[in-house]
Structure 1
Amino acid sequence: MLFGGVIKYVERTSALFSASLDKFKDSMLEDPDPGANYARLMEEYAFKRDMNMPTEVIVEEDPEKGREGNTPVRPDDGLTNLQVVQYAFKYFNIFKGLIVDLIFTNKQRDESRKFFDSLTPVEALSIIEVELSLIYESLFTKAEILHNWTGAVFRVIALACLVSSLCLFSLKSEAQYEGFDVALTYALLICGIALDSIALLMFCVSDWTIATLRKLKEDLDEKDPCAWVDRVLNWILGFRTLRWKTSVCFMDGHQVLDRNFMFRRWSEYVHAHNLIGYCLKIRPKRIHPTKGMLHSFIPCSGTRQFCNWIHRTLSNLTKCSCILLPVTLLRHHIGSSITYVLDFFGLTELVEEIRFTTSDRLTRELWEFIFKQVQHKHRFAEDLESAKSISSARGDWTLVETSSKATEGGPDHAKLLRYVTEKDYDQSILMWHIATELLYQSPEEEEVTEKEEYTNREFSKILSDYMMYLLIMQPTLMSAVSGIAKIRFLDTCAEANEFFERRHINTKRHEKDNLVKEASRAILSVKTYVEPMDVKGDRSKSVLFDGSVLAKELMKLKNGKENMWEVVSKVWVELLCFAATHCDSQEHASQLSKGGELINFVWLLMAHFGLGDQFQINRDDARAKLIVAK
């Protein structure tokens, strides 16, 4: 047992050491390259010139020998589960350098761009989720230590030590020990063996192990005598493949991720936080509600019926005038006490995140929309400067492009551009979020009959609430781009609460389901002849009515026969892409330990399409030659 314990502690210590950023970066560095022998070349060049021999130095491309391979060839009939893992492992070994801010060559960039341009959106999602899973394993598990022959052998030895300890203990006389001690020892040994056996099984069927055992084929048409192994591995990986379920929301509905939690590689959720709902103390509604195992258990357990009974009982009690005052006072004191306790222990923000944040499954249509937008933009990024420019766009690139496609005589997007180019990023997020919510809640927009317009409206709502969630609920992740987002958010909430109180917009006068709609209608009804900044000055950072002005500008697009929701949804994708590329890479990696976020996928997708500033080598490797004319 002592030997097995020593092995465990050595594994853990080695894993922590190898996962440190300095060690992680050192493990990715290639052998030092001194380059061409400059001193020797100059000596020869000077000697030739002294001999009056016509000499020149030319630079030619280095031979292909020793370089990266050509763009991987993908099968015409789609990728198998095994090929997804193999390609993901290949690009993981290249792009894990993003975490420690390594730079990549043009050849690596071009190869990745061509390959991902040939993929379908679902194939790209599958590869990226395996890549992120491998990054998580390399940073937060013992994978780097165990996935070699030394680690595997010692893992088996550690299990053998536990089994031998159990056997030796069972052979000893139990008379000299108390019954409880014997039972406890058996329980600890058996549990230790069970845990190690499960860990060994997971190790054997992990993506890392499978990708290591079955290398990616250079020639896909080549006959393989071990094809049966591929079939077995494809069957094993089939349990973790992406699965979709139809959620009926409009016409034939949308496809949402619906994989068993045991086989997920990430959380698969897109979170939502809404500013107006938060001010009204209303939790955002799910657009695509799905029921997991826990949700299916609740109706059977009677929990819902019990909660409804408590709600009805309290409602009936408050209707009695004789006990109305005591119940009200008791409710007030309990609420004040809970608030005091939460503030004392610093749990207020955590509770608010739980209360006013919802989680919706990622839809296939939303991912395809994001993928196609990034894919479309990468075709304009032929050089590094254009790639940096596109990745730094915060909605302006989309507004300029859609403006050039606008119908003749319709409104241009010059007025909309100032809401992204002349504002801070966090300010833009808040204004576009408010504008999106005001438009989404308007009665006219709920009568949409075309599926494309409805889908763009839905994308805008999901991404708007998701970006608000990232900005307010994930300040560490967004710290590089958030600015004074928290101050602006609180000032905006203060102005909204004051406005709603003055207009008597609360649950006493309106039904809870219609409260957000009534609040949105009231905000839009305010005349905005004068810019809010000219009235309030710079003291308050609230952008409540700036968002209302933006919403009215966006309405003009629809009046001009443009697809307003298409423009809004594309702007939100661009704002998401900006955050993905400008957030700290180490924060992206840290997010993987919490289940992962959609923004992590966009971050890696942008890198694969060559959009960003991590590609900084402008010339391919070359070598100099000394040419002497005859």
Structure 2
Amino acid sequence: MLKLVPGLTVALIFIKKVWERWNIVGALLFSLMLQSFLTLVAPFRRSTRDRGLILIIWCAYLIADATANFAIGLISNNVRSPCDSSGKEENDLLAFWAPFLLLHLGCPDPITAFSLEDNELWQRHMLSLILQAVASTYVFFQSLSHNKLQLPTFLMFIAGVIKYSERIWALYRASTDSFRNSLLQKEDPGPDYALLMDKFACMRDGHLPTKTITLEQPEKEAEDVKQDNLSDLEVLHYAYHFFETFKGLVVDLMFSIHARKESREFFKMRTPEDALRVIEVELNFLYGVFYTKMMIMHSRVGYVFRIIACGSILVALALFHFHTNQSKYDPFNVKITYSLLLGALAMEFVAFLMLFFSDWTFASPVHPALKPSELIYRCFLALTKSSWYRSPGNEVLVLATPLFRRWSGSVSGHNFLRYCRKSSPTTMLKFTSWWDPISDLKVVRGLRLNLVANLVGKLKLILLPLSFVSKLCHIPEPIAKKMGFQEFLDEMAYVSHEPLAKDLWDIIFKEIKEKSKEALLSKHVAKRISSSRGEWVLMSGEYSHIDWSEFMSHEAELDERIILWHIATDLCYHNDSPSQSASSSESSSLPSPSSPAPHKITSKLLSDYMLYLLVMRPSMMSTVVGLAKIRFQDTLAEAHRLFERNDLGAGENDKRACEIIYGVNTDIKPVHLKGDRSKSVLFDACRLARELDKFENGKWLLISKVWVDLLSYAATQCRPSAHVEQIGKGGELITFVWLLVAHFGLGHCFQTTTIAKLIAGK
């Protein structure tokens, strides 16, 4: 062992020399690399289905700030004293490099915040700006007496302060208090109560009969609503209008009855596809407000700041290239300086392209100055348009976008039986290839997109290696539980991802639209609809003759109903023999809406999705998280015991597991034999499945309606901040339902305005 000491010493000395030579340069280049990565990859976080990519972006976001702060500390620690005549040229470059780190701390435009909590820390970033600006100024003054790069350094300092100030401004505007305050209307004290009481006293003293009446303020007549399908630009304009109207949902503000009527009348005339397109653009605006600099950049001050920052960087590059004697400096350090300057300019150029092609640019009616570029933007919108396509092997149409998705377009799923048996997730539908929509576009306004499609397709291959990161997480379950990684690994291993099916969105849109019509009957009906967790469907029409109280009792929590109906849906799904329409899925025609196949698929998709939200996204469910976990674990334990008793092998399929559960005698309610100590609902679900089977093929329409009812209720009860949090992580279907419910005038976010009058009686 002693013979290894000299070798170890040599290695440590070598590492020390490498560190002393490369510490500042390495930190600078690493910071530039992180900024470039975030600039190019961060926009994909809103449209990715890969949790591994989200994790990588999160790590890069955190490490980028730490690296820039660390590099500024290294520079300020290595700068020489003005009295030291040696290394003056090195001091010049160190002083010139320091403002670049302020530029990096300003963050790329596509990602000012990773989560909503980051917006609340804007004061911390303001303090950091002051400290880092002081550190950069210290480095600058250390070299001031002999610095030949004073003007370029000063220009870069201005650009760095502007970029960091933009980030702080964006964080401040997106913080909860600031965002709420920006939406508050002008204060309204209401009628003068003291004056009215004086009037009432005078009338009473004069022996005049008086009374007060209360009138509801009538709704204003809605403007003419467009009847036909919406063009791409019209989708953008309407989405921006409703974003401006309904962005107060995020901070629980109330809306006027006029806003409700306008929105309800507009969406009542829309097709499900146009409604989906409007909502996805509307959510894209919310994403821009809370996670990027888009709202700041699309303002007069933002334009001025951006022109000054870009101009400062460009002039600094020109001065360094044309008016600096570069022979005085180390050639390697000169190359590093060029890398920083050109890297800063490249990121500004990419930011300009993102700014121009953002939805914010053409959100309002097009400015005359933008008219010449409208054709280019129409072509770009064609590449972001969501439409329905059929992939080989799919029974139904699924959502696809030519190139640039605004959200993941997927519906995640978590299945109780698969998780109980620790089997790999299975999918019913296939995602379309990115080329499928492109091949249908052919020509847009005379411009062929083949070349662009091929180019962008090759660029997107850069992201493929990132998807393999999630496959590297193989940590034993006991260790994962102790380290707190179990839920993350379970999501990687057992959660499936399905494309959004047209039938699924159609039934959601249809059911909510029908509810909005029935809600107009009376306030009592509207209140019952908004608070329904499946009862509205079961207690109406052809299903009301059955006693559903055992499965839909008022005492049952939302988590109990989700687990109960999820297992029952699985039992019905696997026990059903394939229908004739399903067996002919290879045909080119879509099954008719009256056939059980579409409702069977949508019921299964919604069932797995709701369990995914309950188990993997508990913050989005209006339940007591602890009780939901206990109920899920107790049901799992009872299923494990049943499968072990029946020797269910790991290689057997879900259908066999369903047969075992369905084969248990459930003539007596489980609570009468077991009591209520265990929260398991396994055999309650079996009893529900037997009841549903009485409807034969008609049960799938019923089940799908119940799931839509549960989904819409969960969407309205979820905290708005939880919805906004998911926009930056690929988006969730429940968030689309949340906005759709609000646009149809349902929920509790609308106020009725009453007018009180004091009049003389007869």
In structure 2, the residue corresponding to 1:603 is in which secondary structure? helix
Any conservation in 1 of the 2:393–2:430 contact (CA below 8 Å)? no
Instruction: Tell me how far apart the structure 2 counterparts of residues 232 and 626 of structure 1 sit (CA, whole Å).
Output: 62
Q: CA deviation at 1:292?
A: 4.7
Give the Cα–Cα distance (whole angstroms) in 2 for the partners of residues 351 and 110 of structure 1: 46
Closer, same or farther in 2 for the Cα pair 1:588/1:461, shift >3 Å?
same
Matches for 1:218-297 after TM superposition, within 5 Å: 233-249=377-393, 253-260=395-402, 263-290=404-431, 292=433
Instruction: Name which of structure 1's ranges 340-349 and 137-146 shifts more when overlaid on structure 2.
Output: 340-349
The 8 Å contact of residues 481 and 579 in structure 1, kept in 2 or not, is answered as no
CA distance in 1, matches of 2:332, 2:207: 98
Partner of 2:303: 152
Q: Secondary structure at the match of 1:210?
A: coil
> Deviations for 1:218-242, whole angstroms, at most 9, x for unmatched residues?
xxxxxx9998776554333222211
Tell me how far 1:466 sits from its aligned partner.
0.3
C-alpha distance 626-578 of structure 1, shift in aligned 2 (>3 A): closer
Q: 1:350 aligns to what?
A: 488
> 1:133-167: per-residue Cα shift (whole Å, max 9, x none)?
11121122223322211111111211111111221
Residue 2 of structure 1 pairs with residue 157 of structure 2: yes
Aligned match of 1:124: 275
Q: Kindly tell me: are residues 365 and 439 of structure 1, through their superposed partners in 2, closer, same or farther at Cα, counting changes over 3 Å?
A: same
1:583 aligns with 2:737: no
Candidates 588, 594, 604, aligned match of 1:461: 604
- Matching residue within 480, 483, 486 for 2:629: 486
Kept in 2, the 8 Å contact 1:416–1:553? The answer is no
Q: In 2, Cα distance between the equivalents of 1:247 and 1:573?
A: 25
Alpha carbons 1:45, 1:626 under 8 Å: kept: no
1:313 is matched with none
Is the contact between residue 551 and residue 688 of structure 2 (CA under 8 Å) also seen in structure 1? Answer: no
In structure 1, how many angstroms separate the alpha carbons of the residues matched to 2:426 and 2:623?
Answer: 29
Which of 607, 618, 640 lines up with 1:497 in the alignment? 640
1:76, distance to aligned residue in structure 2 (A)? 3.3
Confirm whether residue 392 of structure 1 aligns to residue 527 of structure 2: no
Task: Summarize deviations over 1:113-143 as a string: whole Å, max 9, x none.
Answer: 1111111111111111111111121122223
> Which amino acid counterpart does residue 170 of structure 2 have in structure 1?
A
1:409 maps to which residue?
none
Deviation string, structure 1 residues 587-610 (Cα, Å, up to 9, x no partner): 111111212100000001001111
Q: 1:395 to 1:486 in 2, by over 3 A?
A: same
Rounded Cα–Cα distance in structure 1 between residues aligned with 2:160 and 2:692 = 65
TM-score, L = length of structure 2? 0.69
Determine if contact 1:439/1:551 at 8 Å carries over to the other structure.
yes
Alignment of 1:609 with 2:737, yes or no, is no
Mapping for residues 520-599 of structure 1, pairs under 5 Å: 520-558=658-696, 563-599=698-734
- 1:182 matched to 2:334? The reply is yes
Is 1:418 matched with 2:557?
no
Q: Distance in 2 between matches of 1:106 and 1:531?
A: 47
- C-alpha spacing 1:340/1:293, structure 2 compared with 1 (3 Å): farther
| Pairwise CA distance, 1:77 | 3.0
Aligned to 1:324: none
Q: 1:441 aligns with which of 574, 595, 603?
A: 574
User: Is the 1:396–1:421 contact (alpha carbons within 8 Å) kept by the matching residues of 2?
Assistant: no
Please report how far the alpha carbon of residue 194 of structure 1 lies from its aligned counterpart in structure 2 after TM superposition.
1.4
- Show the counterpart of 1:32: 187
Unaligned runs of 5+ in 2: 1-155, 436-456, 583-590
Instruction: Name the stretch that deviates more: 123-132 or 608-617.
Output: 608-617
Q: What amino acid is aligned across from residue 672 of structure 2 in structure 1?
A: D
What letter is aligned with 1:401?
S
Aligned AA for 2:386?
L
Q: Percent identity?
A: 39
Shift in Å, 1:539: 2.1
Structure-1 separation of matches of 2:376 and 2:644: 64
SS in structure 2 opposite 1:254? coil
Find the aligned partners of 1:42 and 1:272 in 2 and give their Cα distance.
61
**Residues in 1 aligned to 2:555 and 2:213: alpha-carbon distance in whole angstroms:** 48
Q: Does the 8 A contact of 1:420 with 1:428 survive in 2?
A: no
> In structure 2, what is the equivalent of residue 325 of structure 1?
none
2:733 & 2:681 partners in 1: Cα distance?
Answer: 27
How many Å separate the matches in 2 of 1:131 and 1:153? 27
Mapped pair 1:19 → 2:171? no
Q: Matches of 2:172 and 2:338 in 1, distance apart?
A: 34
Residue number in structure 2 paired with 1:518: 656
Cα deviation, 1:408-449, whole Å, max 9, x if unaligned, reads: xxxx33136633545221111111100111111125245665
Q: Label 1:73 to 1:420 Cα distance change in 2 as closer, same or farther (>3 A).
A: farther
Distance 1:178 1:384, change over 3 A: farther
- Cα distance in 2 for residues equivalent to 1:341 and 1:417: 41
C-alpha separation in 1, matches of 2:171 and 2:629: 34
How far does residue 402 in structure 1 lie from its aligned partner after superposition?
A: 3.8
- Seen in structure 2, the aligned counterparts of structure 1 residues 385 and 61 have a Cα distance that, compared at 3 Å, is closer
User: Given that residues 99 and 586 in structure 1 are in contact (C-alpha distance below 8 angstroms), is that contact kept between their aligned partners in structure 2?
Assistant: yes
In structure 2, the residue matched to 1:323 is none
Deviations 1:75-130 (A, max 9, x none): 33321111111111111112111111111122221221111111111111111111
Return the match for 1:71 from 222, 234, 251: 222
Is the contact between residue 440 and residue 446 of structure 1 (CA under 8 Å) also seen in structure 2? no
Using the TM superposition, give the Cα deviation of residue 71 of structure 1 relative to its aligned residue in structure 2, in angstroms.
2.6
Mark the CA change 1:187 to 1:69 in structure 2 (over 3 Å): closer, same or farther.
farther
More divergent stretch after superposition (382-391 vs 451-460): 382-391
Amino acid across the alignment from 1:274: N
Query: Relative to structure 1, is the Cα distance of residues 59 and 229 closer, same or farther in structure 2, using a 3 angstrom cutoff?
Result: farther
Given the superposition, is the C-alpha separation of residues 574 and 400 from structure 1 closer, same or farther in structure 2, using an over 3 Å criterion?
A: same
Structure 1 counterpart of 2:226, one-letter code = P
Find the aligned partners of 1:275 and 1:364 in 2 and give their Cα distance: 25
Distance 1:52 1:196, change over 3 A: same
* Residue ranges of structure 1 left out of the alignment (5+ in a row): 216-223, 308-333, 406-411
> Number of paired residues?
565
After superposition, the C-alpha distances for 1:7-55 in whole angstroms (9 at most, x for unaligned) are: 0111111111111111111100111122333434444554566567788
C-alpha separation in 2, matches of 1:180 and 1:536:
78
Q: Is residue 194 of structure 1 aligned with residue 337 of structure 2?
A: no
Between the aligned partners of 1:563 and 1:282, the Cα distance in structure 2 is: 31
Residues 181 and 110 (structure 1 numbering): CA distance in 2 closer, same or farther, change over 3 Å?
same
Is 1:85 the counterpart of 2:236 in the alignment? yes
Q: State the match for 1:318 in structure 2.
A: none
User: In 1, Cα distance between the equivalents of 2:626 and 2:526?
Assistant: 24
1:166 aligns with 2:301: no
Instruction: State whether residues 104 and 614 of structure 1, in contact with CA within 8 Å, keep that contact through their aligned partners in structure 2.
Output: yes
Alpha carbons 2:557, 2:623 under 8 Å: kept: no
Counterpart Cα distance in 2 of 1:226 and 1:180: 44
CA drift of 1:179 comes to 2.4
Aligned residue type for 1:570? K
2:237 & 2:528 partners in 1: Cα distance?
32
Aligned to 2:618: 475
AA paired with 1:432?
Answer: W
Change (3 A) 1:22 1:384: farther
Does the aligned pair in 1 maintain the 2:386–2:402 contact within 8 Å? no
CA distance, structure 1, for counterparts of residue 678 and residue 179 of structure 2: 45
Q: State the shift of 1:276 in Å.
A: 0.4
* TM-score, with structure 1 as normaliser: 0.82
For residues 100 and 467 of structure 1, the distance between their equivalents in structure 2, rounded to whole angstroms, comes to 25
